[in-house]
Amino acid sequence: MFFIFPLLSIISCKSLPKGSLKDSGATLNTQWKGNYTISHDFGKLDENAEMTLDYDLIITKDSCSFSGLGYKTFFTDVCSITGTEKQIIVKYIRQIEGDQMTNHSPTDTLAVVYRKDGRYYLQSQIVPNKHWQYNTPILVKKKS
């Protein structure tokens, strides 16, 4: 019994993504902790299908994931964050789920998230705004 718990702790720590937290990553994760969401409804593609896109950035005390689901989009990535209390950079670590035909192009930086006037914005090369423009600030909803 005394050997099982330490062994399980070692196994579970080894299963965590390496590099998911940088020097001050734990502090940043605590400051930026929450679920950031973007939902776009582009209307009907045809009489049977809607064109929607949903993105989620989930930051917990010790992890970060970024995902997209919708029109030609399906991925979930493990990520890390670096930055300050006003802005973070979301860095790609590895993909944990996705369709090779529809996931995003490989990129080191998934997104930049920042606060301005009490609101949160995301800017990314892989997340379009409602006009299909990339790398433009998009207002995000944050749930703590």
Query: CB of 41 within 8 A of CB of 129?
Result: no
pLDDT at 103: 67
**Domain limits at 40?**
18-143
What pLDDT does residue 27 have?
79
CA 19 to chain centre: 15
Total number of domains in the chain: 1
CATH assignment at residue 54: 2.40.128
> Is pLDDT of 38 > 60?
yes
* Residue 1 domain-assigned (yes or no): no
- Which pair of structure tokens corresponds to residue 14? 């080894």
- 11-15, 61-65, 101-105, 128-132: which has the minimum mean pLDDT? 11-15
* Dihedral sign for Cα atoms in the order 123, 43, 141, 70: negative
pLDDT mean across residues, the chain:
82
| Residue 8 in domain | no
Q: Would the pLDDT of 63 be above 50?
A: yes
Confidence of residue 2 (pLDDT cuts 50, 70, 90): very low
Backbone angles phi, psi at 10, to 5 degrees: -65, -45
